[in-house]
Amino acid sequence: MDEYPYDHADAGISIIQYLHAQGVVKDPTGDQVEDTGQPAIYLGDMADNPDRALALIGPWVDDDDCSNPALRFMIVGRGAPGDQLGVMDDMARVMHVLWSNYPYLLTANREVAYCHRVANDPPVPDQNGRFRRVDTYETRMRVPKDFQPL
């Protein structure tokens, strides 16, 4: 059987849902401003409120293996004004959940072969005194087991 490409460009949604299922972020389909003790989560762009939030930027797909491509994405974390340690804690929880040398399932039967943080920047304050940090991840995805090529 020929190998068919599988488009993982929407994997960001599955990663966000996985972070929520692991208790790291708010429900991505719910109210992001209400204080639930967890950071808000966004895909692509981070809203100005609430202060404590995360955003997944990307992913960028490297089709070096057309069925099981490498994906790169960034997680941007932001803490409350003056709370440098809070954003560090949130980003540590993200890494603890995503980092793996072994396969694990996201939502929609999508499987991660491995996931590594490949870069992490120091936290820096924005114009409102809220600390931001950017971590970059690389993952190798697997084709969903129920994928049927056209």
CATH (domain of 64): 3.30.2000.30
What is the number of domains present in the chain? 1
> Residue 93: what residue type?
R
Mean pLDDT of 7-32: 91
pLDDT, tens digit, 9 for 90 and up, residues 108-133: 778 899 999 999 999 999 999 999 99
Residue 39 lies in a domain: yes
Token output for 33: 């401003």
Q: Which domain holds residue 95?
A: 11-142
Residue 4 inside a domain? The answer is no
In a domain, 150, yes or no: no
Query: What's the pLDDT at 111?
Result: 87
DSSP secondary structure string for all residues of 31-75: -SSS--SS-EEEESS--S-SSSEEEEEEEEEETTSSSS-EEEEEE
pTM comes to: 0.89
- 136 Cβ contact list (under 8 Å, min separation 6): 72, 73, 74, 117, 118, 119, 120
CB-based contacts of 150, cutoff 8 Å, min separation 6: 4
86 lies in some domain: yes
Closest CA to 44 of 26, 58, 29: 58
- Residue 138 included in any domain: yes
Residue 83 domain-assigned (yes or no)? yes
> Does some domain include residue 42?
yes
Largest CA distance in the chain: 57
149 inside domain: no
pLDDT in tens, 53-108: 999 999 988 777 666 788 999 999 999 999 999 999 999 999 999 999 999 988 77
